[in-house]
Amino acid sequence: MLPRIPEIMRANDLIDLAFRRAAKESSLLTIRGVPRLIRTRKKEEKKVKVVARVIKKHLNKVLKAPRIEELPSFYQELVDIAIGIEKLKKSFGAVKWAVKKIDSLEKHYRYKIRTSQTEADASKYRREFYGRTASILRDISEEIDFLRDASRKLRSFPVVKDIFTIVIAGMPNVGKSTFLKAITTSKPKIESYPFTTKQILLGYFKRRYREYQVVDTPGLLDRPLEKRNPIEKQAILALKHLANVIIFIFDISETCGFTREEQLKVFKEISSLFKVKVIPVVNKADILDKEKIKEFEEKIGEKIFVCSALKKEGVENIIEEAIKE
């Protein structure tokens, strides 16, 4: 599920490793009873073979990373924000080019070594192969470093499941995390975005054998968009790919510290930004009188749901509404 790029070695380290292996494996080669020229050819060819094998194997492992287009769109968006899809594709392209190039050099030089007329020539061709291979790897060392960095960043991505997801929104202190805890069965899992200090809280519950994911993003969907820096805006955009439905929580008792008008403004913004159903929920019903709720419903002009997340009252209706096909 989570995109991964296998660990990749620095260009110079890979060259060193390949050369060391080649020296070792060729020294273990015992060839007796043949002329010196043939023995030298075999040893030198072996070195070429081992160097090519070690490098190709390592680079091919890197190329086995999942294709960006195959990732869930939430991750595609995050990859683009945190790493850059174009640059990533270019770097993979460079690695692919190197594999091909080393492959054809291997064939070329193994043939030259096999048909060399002197021991000096056989060694010269092997050295030539070494030189050209090392220079290919150095040519792509920048791309390799980029992929190393990308691989590290990917490991810090939030791990989310590719299942029906409810995103909880609402201003600070309205009761979002209390609500998440009220509807999920396990302790919320805390993950973070790789490019902001913002966290993402994930909880899960089951209904009729299906698993649902609930996401709370403290500090992201809780204030007007104009107060956002570009990175936060992008993180919000990424959430668009994750949300199947949004539960927007109001605290009309205003004990959260925000007026109803301020909350309505954010509600409208989120409703127009996300193309999914946004369910308005009035929380903290335990400290509200019915009149106030009715008045608010008229103001908002659509059906609202009422609950007390703290007392776990009224939450079931909201879940049913959220997961309704």
Residue 148's alpha-carbon distances to 50, 142, 154, in angstroms, are 24, 10, 10
User: Please, what is the minimum distance in Å from the beta carbon of residue 161 to ligand GDP?
Assistant: 22
Nearer to ligand GDP, 40 or 263 (CB): 263
User: Please, what is the minimum distance in Å from the beta carbon of residue 285 to ligand GDP?
Assistant: 7
Nearer to ligand GDP, 43 or 176 (CB): 176
Nearer to ligand GDP, 91 or 283 (CB): 283
- If you count them, how many residues does the chain have? 325
User: Please, what is the minimum distance in Å from the beta carbon of residue 173 to ligand GDP?
Assistant: 4
Instruction: Name every residue whose Cβ is closer than 8 Å to that of residue 298 and which is 6 or more positions away in sequence.
Output: none
CA 56/CA 111 separation, integer angstroms: 19
Binding span for ligand GDP by CB under 6 A among 67-75, 103-111, 170-178, 223-231: 170-178
Out of 211, 286, 289, 295, the residue judged to bind ligand GDP by CB under 6 A? 286
Does position 176 bind ligand GDP by CB under 6 A? yes
By C-alpha distance, which of 118, 152, 143 is closest to 35?
118
Interior CA angle at 64 toward 58 and 67, to 5°?
145
Out of 44, 94, 113, 175, the residue judged to bind ligand GDP by CB under 6 A? 175
- Alpha helices for the chain (secondary structure H): 11-27, 36-63, 73-82, 85-114, 119-139, 141-155, 176-183, 230-240, 260-273, 290-300, 315-323
CA 146/CA 150 separation, integer angstroms: 6
Q: Which two tokens stand for residue 205?
A: 């519950």
Does position 199 bind ligand GDP by CB under 6 A? no
Nearer to ligand GDP, 133 or 217 (CB): 217
User: Please, what is the minimum distance in Å from the beta carbon of residue 182 to ligand GDP?
Assistant: 8
Contacting ligand GDP within 221-280 (CB under 6 A): none
Residue 112 buriedness (CB in 10 A; 0-12 / 13-18 / 19+): buried
Out of 22, 174, 245, 247, the residue judged to bind ligand GDP by CB under 6 A? 174
Does position 284 bind ligand GDP by CB under 6 A? yes
Nearer to ligand GDP, 174 or 214 (CB): 174
CA 137/CA 149 separation, integer angstroms: 17
Residue 316's alpha-carbon distances to 205, 307, 308, in angstroms, are 12, 9, 11
User: Please, what is the minimum distance in Å from the beta carbon of residue 314 to ligand GDP?
Assistant: 9
The contact pattern for ligand GDP, residues 294-313, with x = CB under 6 A and - = no contact, is --------------xxx---
Please work out the total of residues on this chain that contact ligand GDP, with binding judged by CB under 6 A: 15
Binding span for ligand GDP by CB under 6 A among 42-50, 136-144, 153-161, 284-292: 284-292
Interface with ligand GDP (CB under 6 A)? 170, 172-178, 283-284, 286-287, 308-310
